[in-house]
A = this chain, B = another copy of it.
Amino acid sequence: MVGSVNKVILVGNLGKDPEVRNAQNGSKIVTFTLATSESWNDKASGERKEKTEWHRIVIFNDRIADVAERFLTKGRKVYIEGSLQTRKWTDQSGQDKYTTEIVIDRFRGELTLLDSGNRDGDQNSPRGQQDTGAARSATSGGWEPAAGDLDDEIPF
């Protein structure tokens, strides 16, 4: 094939805190679900309709997995760029199942935080850190904390 493109761009909110697990080679894999929603006026009923779509995000890229683990929490708004991948698996009853995921891997993908993550009464940040709200962005090519070294800046 003389070149193809497989790109997904999402802006949405995390449904839950991310899950972090370790691959056999020692690197981290971070997964979470992201909600996007649209709303419209239904012509027939005249009612306001809303539909939410849930996307499963999987991060294999070490640097972006690191940012995701440190900063992403339930409800945060993020920009995600990745590739579509449909994976086959077998459930406990032996049935074939297929799951489509948005993958950020070594070469392709981005994650950019779009809100500060500070909410009144938000006590359940992982490890109790306070997000400094500084600009944070990560690409598969490199990553860019907004100010200072990440390790200097974040108190954990």
Contacts of A48 in B (CB 8 A): 147-148
Q: Are B112 and A146 in contact (CB under 8 A)?
A: no
Contacts of A23 in B (CB 8 A): none
Q: Are B108 and A141 in contact (CB under 8 A)?
A: yes
Q: Does A122 contact B (CB under 8 A)?
A: no
Within the complex, which residue of B7, B53, B106, B116 is in contact with A142, where a contact is CB–CB below 8 Å?
A: B106
CA distance A144 to B35 in the complex (A): 17
Q: Mark A75-105, 1 if CB is under 8 A from B, else 0.
A: 0010100011110000000010111100000
Q: Which residue of B lies closest to A61 (CB)?
A: B141
Q: Does A37 contact B (CB under 8 A)?
A: yes
Contacts of A147 in B (CB 8 A): 39, 48
CA distance A113 to B114 in the complex (A): 11
Q: Are A114 and B2 in contact (CB under 8 A)?
A: yes
Mind listing 29 A-B residue pairs with CB under 8 Å? A1-B37, A1-B146, A2-B113, A2-B114, A2-B135, A3-B11, A3-B112, A3-B136, A3-B137, A4-B135, A5-B9, A6-B10, A6-B36, A6-B53, A11-B112, A11-B114, A38-B137, A39-B146, A39-B147, A40-B144, A41-B149, A48-B148, A86-B100, A95-B95, A98-B98, A98-B99, A107-B139, A107-B141, A141-B141
- Chain A residues within 8 Å of B, Cβ to Cβ: 1-13, 35-41, 48, 50, 53-55, 77, 79, 83-86, 95, 97-100, 106-108, 110, 112-116, 133-137, 139-142, 144-149
